[in-house]
Chain A
Amino acid sequence: MSEWVRFYICAAFAAFGVAAFIFAAVGVCRLDYVLLSLHASAIADTIGISSLAVAAAVYFGLDLVSLKLLCCAGLTLFTSPVSTHLLAELEFLTGKTFGAHTRRIGK
């Protein structure tokens, strides 16, 4: 019984992570502007890697390996949005074509 519960939790996390990666890939391909594709790729960085690591941790059970994996997931969850934020900030500060893609919303 508990084996099956563990398997389902693991599968749910893995499916969620893989779905995030697929969404991110589609988004990076379809959105051409830097900030837009950054918004898509941040999904893969943040949710995809974290949930895949959690899935692997659930698969291995309580172990030193799964503890390390959970640490990796937590670190990614905290640092990846910051790196995306910095990239977006640099684009905001230095990008030459910054206003071109956002003007439609502004009017």
Chain B
Amino acid sequence: MSIRDKLSALLGFDIDFDAPVPPRKTETAAEQTPDEWRFSRRIMRAGGRRLGAIYKILGVICSVVLMSTLLLTVAGMPRYGVDQEYMDTVTYEYISHGMEYTGAVNIVSGIILEYRAFDTLGESFVLFCAVSCVLALLRADGADSEPERVEYRDISCDPILRRTMRAVVPIVLLYGAYVLLFGHLSPGGGFSGGAVIGAALIMIASAYGEDVSGRILTERVFKTVTTCALSFYCLGKSYTFYTGANGLHSVIGNGTPGNILSAGLIMPLNVAVGMVVACTIYGMYRMIGQRRF
């Protein structure tokens, strides 16, 4: 009796170690009719001769312009350690007046969601774009035919994993909510809290299998949540920037620094960013790991 038979008897089910691996389906060449193929090749050959010289000259010019601009900028910067007061102006402003202007005890939150709010908005859009690109690629893959079912080992029937996740997931979700909601008071914020919540969703999905993980976040929910969060971010930040730049009275006050309901829009914006991040992480896991949304 070999050790494999013993292990099979121990486990109670048979393991086929020497099962043949199914051959991978090879990609066929791009399906183009011969007419199209000849036409595009002719265009490429004709354009290649003419555009080749222009392309090289333009490339050299662009590179020289870019290089000289960057080098001149570096040369014009103050030397490190000499004009320290000149360089530290913005930092000093943030540290000394940050809490007074933004109402956030956590200076980092105040900076990334008030002073540099458009930067954070761009980062959220980057995440949204990444998920959209993966979604588009997966769609392009299986547009005509049913996407081929990928066989993978399902670990979701493991009782140890299930029991542990049942104990751990609520705590992790609670902690993620805490990091999101207290982002303006303590270290944390939208990105880290969203990552924690996304990890908790991945835990649920990996512990309870495909039938549950498909119900957590459908594509429709993902689109709705992400679009609403990003739109809310855009509108809210536009409003505060508009009123702030023109010296108008804003409905959204700063409140008392240290309270939960303070610091203007920072807490709602943290929640918005966190929802985008959580949806992105879970969507990526679902799309890349399980090949469908």
A residues with a Cβ closer than 8 A to B are 75, 78-79, 82, 85-86, 89-90, 92-94, 96, 98-99, 102-103, 106
Contacts and interface: CB of A to CB of B under 8 A. Distances in A.
Interface stretch (B1-9, B213-221, B226-234, B252-260): B1-9
Given A75-B168, A78-B168, A79-B164, A89 B158 contact: yes
Interface size bracket, B side: 10 to 19
Q: Which 10 A-B pairs have the closest CB atoms?
A: A106-B3, A82-B164, A99-B3, A93-B153, A86-B155, A85-B160, A82-B161, A99-B4, A102-B3, A82-B160
Contacts of A99: 2-4
B17 interface: yes
Interface in B139-176: 153, 155, 158, 160-161, 164, 167-168, 171
A106 B153 contact: no
A102 B153 CA distance: 23
B15 interface: yes
Secondary structure class of chain B's binding surface, majority of residues: helix
A102 B2 CA distance: 11
Contacts of A94: 153
B155 A90 contact: yes
A47 B7 CA distance: 29
A25 B238 CA distance: 53
Nearest to A96: B17
B2 A93 contact: no
30 contacts: A75-B168, A78-B164, A78-B167, A78-B168, A79-B164, A79-B168, A82-B160, A82-B161, A82-B164, A85-B158, A85-B160, A85-B161, A86-B155, A86-B158, A86-B161, A89-B155, A89-B158, A90-B153, A90-B155, A92-B7, A93-B15, A93-B153, A94-B153, A98-B4, A99-B2, A99-B4, A102-B3, A103-B3, A106-B2, A106-B3
Given A82-B160, A99-B4, 9 more contacts: A78-B167, A82-B161, A82-B164, A86-B161, A90-B155, A93-B15, A96-B17, A102-B3, A106-B6
Contacts of A98: 4, 17
A98 B7 CA distance: 11
Nearest to A106: B3
A85 B160 CA distance: 9
